[in-house]
Structure formats: C-alpha cells, structure tokens
Amino acid sequence: MAIQSPCVDVCRIDATSGFCVGCLRTREEIRAWKGMTDPQREALIGDLTRRVATPPAAATTTPATS
C-alpha cells in the first residue's frame, strides 16, 4: 500500500523556515512527492517527525529589548 501524503490542505509556505505550515514540507518536497518511492517517502516522513520536534531557529530566538 502506498504511503499517504502528509498534506492536510493547509498550504502556505512560511517565509522564515521555508516549510509548509500544514505539512512541514518544502516546496521541493511537495513537488517531488508523486515521483518518490515508498522508502523515499518513509524517509521524508521521518524528517517531518523531527521537524515537528525541533522548532525553527526563528521561533527559539528572544525578542529584541528596547
């Protein structure tokens, strides 16, 4: 059985991280999905799991003080 796309129909690319805010894939990963083999898709799903666990650097910075 083919691995389902991680798309959740919330398609918007975050300008800071370059990831889709819905599925956490890059534009390149989204475009490549249909041509990927199941092992490639499994590897990408593993990457997405790590992305969820590791917030982008911009989210971990502290705001500037005045």
pLDDT per residue rounded down to tens, the chain (66 residues):
789 999 999 999 999 999 999 999 999 999 999 999 999 999 999 999 998 887 666 444 455 565
DSSP the chain: -PPPP---S---B-TTT-SBTTT---HHHHHHGGG--HHHHHHHHHHHHHHHHS--HHHHSPPPP-
Instruction: Give the predicted TM-score (pTM) of the model.
Output: 0.76
Least Cα distance to 24 among 51, 4, 42 occurs for: 51
